[in-house]
Structure 1
Amino acid sequence: MNKEFKNLSIDCLTEEQRKHHEKVVNSPIRIMQVGEGNFLMSFFDWMVDRAIKAGNFDGSIALTCPLNYDGKIKTLNNQDMLYTVIQRGFRGEEEIFETDILSVFSKVFNYNVEWDTFMNIAEMESLDVVISNTTEAGLAYKKVELENVSEDGLYPGKLTAFLMHRFEVLGNISKKLLIFPCELVAENGRVLKEYVFKHLEDFGASQECKTWVEENCVFLNNLVDRIVPGYPRDEEEFYFEKLGYKDGAMSMCEPFFLWAIEGSEEFDKILPLKASGLNVQWLDSLHDTQLLKVRILNGSHTLITPQSILKGFKQVDEVVEDETMKAYLNETLEKEILPSLKNKTGNKEEFASTVLGRFRNPHIKHKLESISMNSVSKFSNRLWPTVKSYIEDNNKLPENMMVGLAGLIRFYQVEKTESGFVGHDFKGNKYKVFDTPEVLDFMYNANVKFEEKNEDYVRYVLSNEKIWGEDMTKYLNIVEVVTEKKQSMEKEYEPVC
């Protein structure tokens, strides 16, 4: 019988923790956060908590969810906006098992249905920072009218409405507003700024408003790094026992973390994280750091995830401990990914070795299902540049990358059910597929359109410029190679009669 645990609330806090919580929830909102996912809560919010406790930051965070799925929002509100971050792994040779109850939020809401709350925060002079993580799919431009942006807009459109309202109410306020898009997109700050200015034009913003955004809103390219598997669903009872309470929003992460930001260290005075002893780096250029992180760590995740789910794996550590998959990943890194980085990125071999060690962390149960979300845009951003670089250098396709692409296409052979889109692995077991409606609808229709998944099917899928960013079929003999890799993969798992 499962033991009954009380739910996390202020009643679970010590007197000192309760005073801290009361201070935070009554402090001015200085940060608007769009993204309630495990990553920001275990990375950025955890750092803000450290800065508050160090006495360096006097403020709180308003949190909203980018999509109209507010389960986490409801959980946090039921827990007095408290939650737990659990660090497990190694720091050097030292084994780490640390738990922290975080109190950083003073407002937790869903801006998809509470638009007025979002606009009210725009009016606050105390606001210093806007931060987001809406995944690569969320950092996109979608033409929309201003009057419909609250319902139909993506994050860049909603942010634009937020900034316009701030200017309308506060006028030409000279205070800098730091804007951090943490979506894993190259030059994410520049990209978000470009989309905001498109929306300013669409929404008929005045020249004065555009000038204010240009001069006082600082869009910062940045790179985040921490492996965050999130809620430990398979071990929740173990952690409830350790914590002494039930926490529906707790999140697991590794001890390692890095936030690299392209900008002046003067901004650390506004958001004093480096001053609080945290691993935040203000850099003149993010280029080399970005390439290492995205192509090696994130690229490896995206490469192995679809095909590993098809083979029945559930977690990253299982994949990298499997001899065949480990050899495949090591060979891909050595022969295809690392050479594409040329000689511009420092000790790439050492970084790759460190990453593989982090993947093997036995305490981090990083579920492949969570990594698989939006895999199409992830492949385009994280792996396709490596493919094109390899083609340029070798005038042929990278074999292992094509296996990854073949696995991705097979992964998206989906069916539509009442509970969403599902695929079937090589043994016939169901798995869920999460992506944008545009991608899922296209992949579903392709699956229906082509009864036989031959070269015509692969050509049709790879030629969709809207989902991949370009027509992939124009590159060498990619259709034939990917088709062959896909069929070979499937044949390997055919039942023996």
Structure 2
Amino acid sequence: MTSLPRLSRNIVPKVAAFPEKVIQFGGGNFMRAFIDWQLQKMNHQGLFGGNAVLVQPISEEVNTKFAEQDYLFTVLLNGIENGQTVDSAEVVGSVNRLVNPYMEYETYLALADNDQLSIIVSNTTEAGIVYRPEDHLNDKPPAGFPAKLTALLYRRYSLGKSGFTIIPCELIDRNGEKLLEIVKKHAEDWMLDEGFHLWLDTQNTFCCSLVDRIVPGFPRGKEQELAQRLGYEDQLAVTAEPYLLWVIEGPEIIKEQFPLAKAGLNVVVTSDMTPYRERKVHLLNGPHTAMVPLGLLSGLETVEDVMNDEAFSTFLQSMIEQELIPMLDLPVEELQSYAQAVLERFRNPSIRHELRSISLNSISKFKARLLPILLRYVRERGELPPRITLAFAALLYSYRGDRIVRQDEASVLGVFDRAWADPDQFIPRILSQTALWGVDLNEIPGLSARLEGHMHELDSSDLQLHQFV
């Protein structure tokens, strides 16, 4: 077979170029199929006229694929939209360059000098927006994303320039507020002047936001088929569903500054995103997190595999109907309608959403997506939610690391390794880790014993999902 050329501007020379207006922390699958795809939609309609500059946020590893492809990549949309089948491939050219602060820190700080750069977006995973007291202003660079951002903002302030609209996309509650809180903490640690604190509050807008689009990522196993279809090879190709929702909690002026909705995109700017967030995080992300360890331990590979397994799909539907929906403060009919749509999206045969890709940083995901439901369920009903508790047991069991490849922060894996050093004491030890859960979970009546029982069932392959339907 004749080899095909790599995607580049020689292949698609008509991709328009625009000046940089957006600083984008993170260039992973989700950001390419969500943020960058939307930037291009606005640019094609003459509404924005701006591209993104990528910043590598929390990893020293050099990513050469962007430069090798002239910062172009293909977004493949597959699924059903408005009753119609969607199967599209679009070359996205809304990224101009990638800056690696670990190798070119001064270039990174110089982004603050550009007045056209007025919007900052990020997706550094749930583990990215964390406070690291060991980070310092004179580090080149500070290790944590919030510390890097603080250094950039301080440079902008020192130049006497206006601030940014900052919209984090990490799936943590009140992400914008949390990010601002950590930035201010770093400013205190670094003893930055009071003028900077005032500038942070008056010249910058930190928005909380919610993102919703299933992005399985690179179509593994279909590389040759894809290359033949496209006429070129693309190592950054990313698949996604057509559905998209972005809820931004912030002032109305954002609609003009960032005219996403004008471009026909499903973007909501609101003064209160709480209802949208609770619905999405608990009814879409929650089932994702629950299915991953159980599915992987059962030898399943994708979300579609889970949904095509009668026992698993019934288990998930029961969890949604009996444990998730009753704990949410929204109209039941609305929640049921949204949940039904979520299950249909999970069954999308055109999307190969691998469980292992969803498993990244599963501990912080469980804390954000399912633990609040578990705690409320216990508080209001005086008993454990059986299906969420089983999913929790499977998650803890999977972090033993002998049957599933763990994908998490080194510090999290260290906590588990130390707890597993004494298997007989693993459960009480891991439940006591308030740094992981925010509370000592040993205080929940019956949780430790229930988890012990489930883990024994998992160890002996004696678990029967039909018991939980």
TM-score bucket (shorter structure): over 0.9
Match of 1:107 among 97, 110, 113: 97
Match of 2:322?
335
What's the CA shift string for 1:85-120, capped at 9, x where partnerless? 000001132110111101112221212222111101
What's the CA shift string for 1:329-352, capped at 9, x where partnerless? 011111111101034576000100
Match of 2:442?
473
Match of 1:264?
251
Match of 2:148?
158
Query: When the two structures are aligned, how many residues end up with a matched partner?
Result: 463
Match of 1:427?
none
Contact 1:291 1:345 in 2 (8 A): no
Aligned residue runs from structure 1 range 339-358, under 5 A: 339-343=326-330, 347-358=334-345
Shift of 1:210: 1.1
Match of 1:485 among 436, 454, 467: 454
Match of 2:85 among 95, 107, 112: 95
In 2, Cα distance between equivalents of 1:212 and 1:152 = 21
Distance 1:397 1:148, change over 3 A: farther
Code of the aligned partner of 1:125: D
Match of 1:81?
71
Match of 1:32?
23
Shift of 1:490: 2.6
Code of the aligned partner of 1:289: Y
In 1, Cα distance between equivalents of 2:247 and 2:415 = 36
What stretches of structure 1 move > 3 A for 4+ residues in a row?
Answer: 147-152, 342-346
Q: Secondary structure at the match of 2:373?
A: helix
Match of 1:214?
201
What's the CA shift string for 1:258-278, capped at 9, x where partnerless? 001112232121111111111
Which structure 1 segments of 5+ residues have no match? 415-422, 425-430
Aligned residue runs from structure 1 range 296-335, under 5 A: 296-335=283-322
In 1, Cα distance between equivalents of 2:107 and 2:219 = 32
Match of 1:45 among 24, 36, 41: 36
Match of 2:431?
462
Match of 1:12?
11
Match of 2:467?
none
Q: Secondary structure at the match of 2:173?
A: coil
Distance 1:462 1:49, change over 3 A: same
Shift of 1:69: 5.0
Code of the aligned partner of 1:464: Q
Shift of 1:193: 0.7
Q: Secondary structure at the match of 2:221?
A: helix
> Which segment drifts farther, 60-69 or 148-157?
148-157
In 2, Cα distance between equivalents of 1:69 and 1:295 = 33
Shift of 1:446: 2.3
Code of the aligned partner of 2:165: L
Distance 1:460 1:34, change over 3 A: same
Code of the aligned partner of 2:236: A
In 2, Cα distance between equivalents of 1:229 and 1:250 = 11
Contact 2:39 2:50 in 1 (8 A): no
Contact 1:128 1:270 in 2 (8 A): no
Distance 1:232 1:183, change over 3 A: same
| RMSD of equivalent CA atoms | 1.5
Contact 1:66 1:112 in 2 (8 A): no
- 2:218 maps to 1:227: no
Match of 2:53?
62
Match of 2:380?
393
Code of the aligned partner of 1:274: A
Code of the aligned partner of 1:488: E
Contact 2:52 2:95 in 1 (8 A): yes
In 2, Cα distance between equivalents of 1:276 and 1:69 = 36
Match of 2:406 among 426, 429, 433: 433
Code of the aligned partner of 2:399: Y
> Which segment drifts farther, 190-199 or 270-279?
270-279
Q: Secondary structure at the match of 1:433?
A: coil
> Which segment drifts farther, 151-160 or 358-367?
151-160
Distance 1:226 1:145, change over 3 A: closer
Q: Secondary structure at the match of 1:144?
A: coil
Shift of 1:492: 2.7
In 2, Cα distance between equivalents of 1:469 and 1:460 = 14
In 1, Cα distance between equivalents of 2:238 and 2:330 = 37
What's the CA shift string for 1:294-322, capped at 9, x where partnerless? 00100010111012111111111101110
Contact 2:52 2:94 in 1 (8 A): yes
In 2, Cα distance between equivalents of 1:196 and 1:50 = 32
In 1, Cα distance between equivalents of 2:152 and 2:99 = 15
Code of the aligned partner of 2:456: Q
Identical positions, percent: 31
Match of 1:237 among 221, 224, 229: 224
Code of the aligned partner of 1:80: D
In 1, Cα distance between equivalents of 2:427 and 2:262 = 52
What's the CA shift string for 1:414-447, capped at 9, x where partnerless? 2xxxxxxxx31xxxxxx42111111111112222
In 2, Cα distance between equivalents of 1:57 and 1:345 = 39
Normalising by structure 2, we get a TM-score of: 0.96
Shift of 1:235: 1.1
Match of 2:393 among 406, 412, 416: 406
Shift of 1:145: 4.4
In 1, Cα distance between equivalents of 2:176 and 2:137 = 25
Contact 2:293 2:398 in 1 (8 A): yes
In 2, Cα distance between equivalents of 1:351 and 1:110 = 40
In 2, Cα distance between equivalents of 1:116 and 1:352 = 47
In 1, Cα distance between equivalents of 2:334 and 2:167 = 27
Aligned residue runs from structure 1 range 66-215, under 5 A: 66-68=57-59, 70=61, 73-169=63-159, 171=160, 173=161, 175-215=162-202
Shift of 1:410: 0.7
Contact 1:288 1:345 in 2 (8 A): no
Contact 1:52 1:58 in 2 (8 A): yes
In 2, Cα distance between equivalents of 1:156 and 1:74 = 24
Which structure 2 segments of 5+ residues have no match? 464-469
In 2, Cα distance between equivalents of 1:105 and 1:53 = 14
Contact 2:58 2:145 in 1 (8 A): no
